[in-house]
Amino acid sequence: MPEPGDSKVTRVIAHLRAMVAEGRMRQGDRFPSERILAQDLKLSRAVVREALSALELSGDVERCTGDGSYLAVAPESFGESSSIRMAAGLDLVDAMELRMDLEIAAAALACSRARRSDILRLEAGVEAMSEYLEEEDYEAYLDASMDVHVAIGRAAHSRPLADSQMEITETARCDQWLLAEHYTPAIAQTSFEEHSAIVQAISARDVAAAVEAVKRHYENYPTFAKLDHVER
């Protein structure tokens, strides 16, 4: 039985891990369809799809379009990657807080290490966010915002830091539908201004402004209060 703090995505991952641990799956076997998993767990197919995407990202699952999802590793290795351990152990708010710590370090380094190509990538990400904001397509907007956070990690040119930030960002990306459900034009506009401020500070090589912009984005994010009351 899932604990009250478990996310819906984590419930799917835990269910699949139980199937494997019970010996019901061998490497190369196909998991039940998204429809069947959704029915069994009384969750939406979108949530099941997000969980399978997380497992695909970690290399535990191979997804074949039109054919289903297959166990890609030996049963004893299933779910042992650090990204899946983080998904099982962190809720969305915890993941956001860890991302803040990583991003403060990344933004500070990016101010001195970012190359012109890094700045252009960050600016392109903000431009994509602006386009989705105008269309009020908040799921696509959030996806683009995640790309910006990954780009900040890359701009730091520290492999351990970039890898860590990418891993926790991709874990959070699996739960982004939860944020999208609570987005409004005002929340999205605030989010856009905060992302823009981070990128502008990095572009200006202003460490103090970059760190402050990152803190403001995570500490004052307007959806956090609502997320405290959302079933995970």
pLDDT digits (tens, 9 = 90+) for 40-96: 999 888 888 878 877 886 778 998 878 899 999 888 888 665 445 444 444 555 666
Q: What is the full DSSP assignment across 27-82?
A: TTPBPPPHHHHHHHHT--HHHHHHHHHHHHHHTSEEEETTTEEEE-S-GGGTT-SH
Report the share of the chain in percent with pLDDT over 90.
42
Report yes or no on whether pTM surpasses 0.75: no
Domains identified in the chain and CATH numbers:
8-83 (1.10.10.10), 90-227 (1.20.120.530)
The stretch 117-140 carries a mean pLDDT of 95
Q: Which amino acid is residue 200, in one-letter code?
A: Q
- Neighbour count for residue 231 (Cβ, 10 Å): 8
Q: How does the average pLDDT of the chain come out, rounded?
A: 82
